[in-house]
C-alpha cells in the first residue's frame, strides 16, 4: 500500500517527540521543585490548555473522516490522540495511505455546523479572558515547576502544521475552491479557523474515489 511521500518525516517527528517527552519527564539534577498547583494559577497555561482542547476536537473529526475513507483503524489513533496529542497523530500521518479507497459518507455527528460554530466562537472569549492576565515570565516560571508538561506548547504548534494536510484533503473532497486562505488561517489561528471551516464547509455525498472507480 502506497504511503504519503512524507511518511518518513512523520516517523522522524514521532521519534523526536517521544524522546523529547521522555527527556522532559526525567528527574534531572538541579531541577526546581515541581509544583502542580502552579498550573492552576497561571492564566497563560490555562489559556493553552483550553486552546488545545478546542483544537483537538475538529482535528479528531478530520482524522475520523479521513481514516474511514482510507481504510484505517482510526480509533487506534483518535482515542489516544485526546490523551497524548502529537504522538499518535504523527503515527497516523506516517501510516496514512496516499489515496482514499472507501466511498464512505461523513458521520452525521461530524456535520453539526452549530457545534463547530460554537467552538469557533469559544476561542475568542477564552483568549480575551486569560491572555491579558498572564505574562511570559510567569509562564516560564510555571513550566519550570512542571517541566513534564512544557511539551504542550510544541504540541500545539505541531498540531497547527499537521492540521493542514488533513484540512486540505477534506477541502479537495468537498470541492472547496479557495483553499489557500483557509490553510493560512488554520496555520495562524488553529482552532478558530479550523472550527470556522468545519462550520461552513460544503456538505458532500459519498463519491467513489479514483482508486475505487478504476477497480
Taking the C-alpha atoms of residue 214 and residue 174, their distance in angstroms, rounded to an integer, is 20
Total domain count for the chain?
Answer: 1
Residue 207 belongs to domain spanning: 7-214
Q: Is residue 168 part of a domain?
A: yes
Taking the C-alpha atoms of residue 162 and residue 209, their distance in angstroms, rounded to an integer, is 23
Residue 6 sits at φ, ψ, to 5 deg, of -100, 10
User: In this model, does residue 214 exceed pLDDT 50?
Assistant: no
Q: Is residue 1 part of a domain?
A: no
Identify the CA nearest to 176 among candidates 146, 197, 205. Answer: 197
User: In this model, does residue 5 exceed pLDDT 90?
Assistant: no
Q: Is residue 162 part of a domain?
A: yes
Residues, the chain? 215
Q: Is residue 2 part of a domain?
A: no
Instruction: Identify whether the C-beta of residue 193 lies closer than 8 Å to the C-beta of residue 186.
Output: yes
3 by DSSP, 3-state: which?
A: strand
Copy the grid coordinates of residue 103.
466511498
Taking the C-alpha atoms of residue 12 and residue 165, their distance in angstroms, rounded to an integer, is 17
Taking the C-alpha atoms of residue 44 and residue 77, their distance in angstroms, rounded to an integer, is 28
181-199 confidence digits (pLDDT tens): 999 999 999 999 999 999 9
| H-only helix segments in 25-174 | 43-69, 75-84, 86-95, 113-130, 136-144, 151-174
42-91 confidence digits (pLDDT tens): 999 999 999 999 999 999 999 999 999 999 999 999 999 998 899 999 99
Amino acid at each position: 500500500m502506497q504511503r504519503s511521500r512524507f511518511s518518513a518525516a512523520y516517523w522522524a517527528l514521532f521519534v523526536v517527540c517521544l524522546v523529547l517527552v521522555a527527556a522532559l519527564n526525567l528527574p534531572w539534577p538541579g531541577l526546581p521543585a515541581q509544583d502542580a498547583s502552579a498550573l492552576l494559577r497561571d492564566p497563560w497555561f490555562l489559556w493553552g490548555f483550553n486552546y488545545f482542547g478546542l483544537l483537538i476536537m475538529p482535528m479528531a473529526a478530520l482524522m475520523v473522516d479521513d481514516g474511514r475513507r482510507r481504510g484505517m483503524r482510526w480509533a487506534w489513533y483518535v482515542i489516544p490522540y485526546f490523551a497524548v496529542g502529537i504522538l499518535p497523530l504523527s503515527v497516523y500521518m506516517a501510516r496514512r495511505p496516499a489515496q482514499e479507497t472507501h466511498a464512505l459518507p461523513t458521520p452525521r455527528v461530524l456535520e453539526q455546523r452549530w457545534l463547530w460554530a460554537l467552538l469557533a466562537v469559544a476561542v475568542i472569549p477564552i483568549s480575551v479572558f486569560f491572555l491579558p492576565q498572564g505574562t511570559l515570565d510567569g509562564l516560564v516560571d510555571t513550566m519550570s515547576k512542571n517541566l513534564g508538561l512544557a511539551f504542550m506548547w510544541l504540541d500545539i504548534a505541531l498540531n497547527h502544521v499537521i492540521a493542514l494536510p488533513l484540512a486540505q484533503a477534506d477541502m479537495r473532497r468537498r470541492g472547496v475552491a479557495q483553499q489557500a486562505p483557509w490553510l493560512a488561517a488554520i496555520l495562524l489561528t488553529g482552532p478558530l479557523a479550523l472550527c470556522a471551516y468545519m462550520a461552513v464547509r460544503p456538505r458532500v455525498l459519498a463519491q467513489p474515489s479514483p482508486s475505487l472507480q478504476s477497480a
